[in-house]
Amino acid sequence: MKIRLNKKALVGAVIILFFILIAILAPLLAPYDPHEFVGTPYSKPTSKYILGLDRMGRDILSQLIYGTRLSLIVGLTTGALMTSISLLIGMTAGYFGGIIDRILSTIIDVFMVIPGLPLMIVIASYIRLRGVVPIILVISFTSWAPGARVIRAQTLTMRNREFILASKITGEKSVRIIFSEILPNMLSLISSDFFMACLTAIVGEASLEFLGFGDVSAITWGTMLYWAQNSSALLNNAWGWVLAPGIAIATLGASFALLNFSIDELTNPKLREV
């Protein structure tokens, strides 16, 4: 059983490492400059251009490889930022309790019910600045609530455990108790939350960029899909242009889902094999 569980996590981790390697080695792996005109627009896939060319005659495979960089950076940064917000709000609410908890819990609940994607779209459409920073901020700001709720609940159960009470009695500062007593004991929960956040970020980034809220001159998987859609790639039979970035997003997303699922399976006693 143990081997099987680790297999899911292993597959997820290997895929992520694979993408990280591609991102780092992009200049070596990409056959062409992703911005360069190399042949007839909308060329079919050939041995020279494995995934074909886009509407400006640029190599799609090279774009896909270079696109890994920004897509991955945005996904991981957003995941980290989102998890930090969840941690900050969830732990503060759970640890201090009382009126602070009531206020923060209400804020969490409000953000849980206000629909994410429409809110992202509304905010993004007011921001005139286009680029990765607004995307990271918009997704983190709208999607932190589910994580905060789980972390709050976990902190709440930790607060009254003996080792925490012991630190309180010895006069430790709250900040120290939160960060060096409670935090290390929630690492599995936090990492599972982080992987979920990355999945949300990857899909959210792709959706926003697909709608044209990204920097459309930058090369990411989402903007590739944006251009593919806006140049009727499929009607021109340039299927590689749509298929490749989508599969890349789905694979990376699924690997985060796999990691999240296997951590849940390992740590939730009810899901564990008896």
Q: State the Cα torsion 10-12-17-20 to the nearest 10°.
A: -170
**60 touches another protein by CB under 8 A:** no
**13 touches another protein by CB under 8 A:** no
**CB 139 within 8 Å of CB 204:** yes
Site string for another protein, 123-142 (x = CB under 8 A): x-xxxx--------------
**202-141-111 Cα angle (round to 5):** 110
Pick one of 84, 167, 191, 229: the residue that binds another protein (CB under 8 A).
229
**162 touches another protein by CB under 8 A:** no
**273 touches another protein by CB under 8 A:** yes
Minimum CB distance to another protein smaller for 177 or for 249? 249
Rounded CA-CA distance 194/83 in Å is 6
Rounded CA-CA distance 180/218 in Å is 40
Minimum CB distance to another protein smaller for 171 or for 269? 269
Q: Where are the beta strands (DSSP E) in 134-256?
A: none
**CB 138 within 8 Å of CB 127:** yes
Question: What number of helices (H) and strands (E) belong to the chain?
Answer: 12, 0
Query: Which 182-201 residues touch another protein, going by CB under 8 A?
Result: 199
**99 touches another protein by CB under 8 A:** no
Rounded CA-CA distance 58/109 in Å is 46
Burial category of 236 from C-beta neighbours within 10 Å (exposed 0-12, middle 13-18, buried 19 and up): middle
**258 touches another protein by CB under 8 A:** yes
Angle between helices 239-267 and 2-24 (to 10 degrees): 140
Pick one of 150, 183, 211, 216: the residue that binds another protein (CB under 8 A).
211
**CB 95 within 8 Å of CB 174:** yes
CB of 149 to another protein, least distance (A): 14
**Region from 22-30, 76-84, 162-170, 255-263 binding another protein, contact rule CB under 8 A:** 255-263
CB of 183 to another protein, least distance (A): 26
**Region from 43-51, 173-181, 186-194, 233-241 binding another protein, contact rule CB under 8 A:** 233-241
**210 touches another protein by CB under 8 A:** yes
**50 touches another protein by CB under 8 A:** no
Q: Can you give the binding site for another protein, defined by CB under 8 A?
A: 1, 4, 106, 109-110, 113-115, 117-119, 121-123, 125-128, 199, 202-203, 206-207, 210-212, 225, 229, 234-235, 239, 242-243, 246, 249-258, 261, 270-271, 273-274
